Amino acid sequence: MADPQPAADSTPPGGSTAPRPSRAQAFRETLSELTRLDGVRGGLIVTPDGLVITSELPPRFPVEALAALAATLGRELELGASRLERGAFRTALFSADDGTVFVGGSPVGYVTVVADRNVNNEGVRTALGRAVDRLRGTWRTPTV
């Protein structure tokens, strides 16, 4: 019987052996960062057909209805940008007397943030843009 061969070194270049977080964990962390912003009530990430990937919303919020709204708004924004030959939309906001909804397009679908009416719009848009960029990077990066 032959002696067993030692296993090949599976340490990646640079010596780091820490496991990479799963995409699902990255999605949850990204959304959690957004929901901690001042004036933000909650948020969710949905696929283009409205399937909830992850959500952080107060119990009284209708998750499925918000997911359907987010998918519809996201698809309409994409179609409108395409018709106007403006490229892909990045973020949008919709404001009403009782609050503000932000939508960002990502490779997995739409990141949606529900906030108070008087929220710092520019601060949330900036954070949402960073979140969308993070999701793009997470989606491109292969998981182990």
- The rounded distance, in Å, linking the Cα atoms of 46 and 68 is 9
Encoding tokens for residue 47?
């696929």
Q: Is the pLDDT of residue 136 over 90?
A: no
Q: What is the pLDDT of residues 23-43, one digit of tens each?
A: 788 889 999 999 999 999 999
Cα–Cα distance list, 76 to 10, 18, 41, 45, 72 (Å): 46, 41, 24, 17, 6
125 against 137, higher pLDDT: 125
Q: Which of 79, 84, 125 is nearest to 101 (CA)?
A: 125
Encoding tokens for residue 19?
């496991």
Q: What pTM value is reported for the model?
A: 0.77
90 against 70, higher pLDDT: 70
Mention every residue, 6+ apart, whose C-beta is less than 8 A from residue 136: 106, 107
Q: Which of 95, 119, 104 is nearest to 40 (CA)?
A: 119
pLDDT, residue 7, reads 44
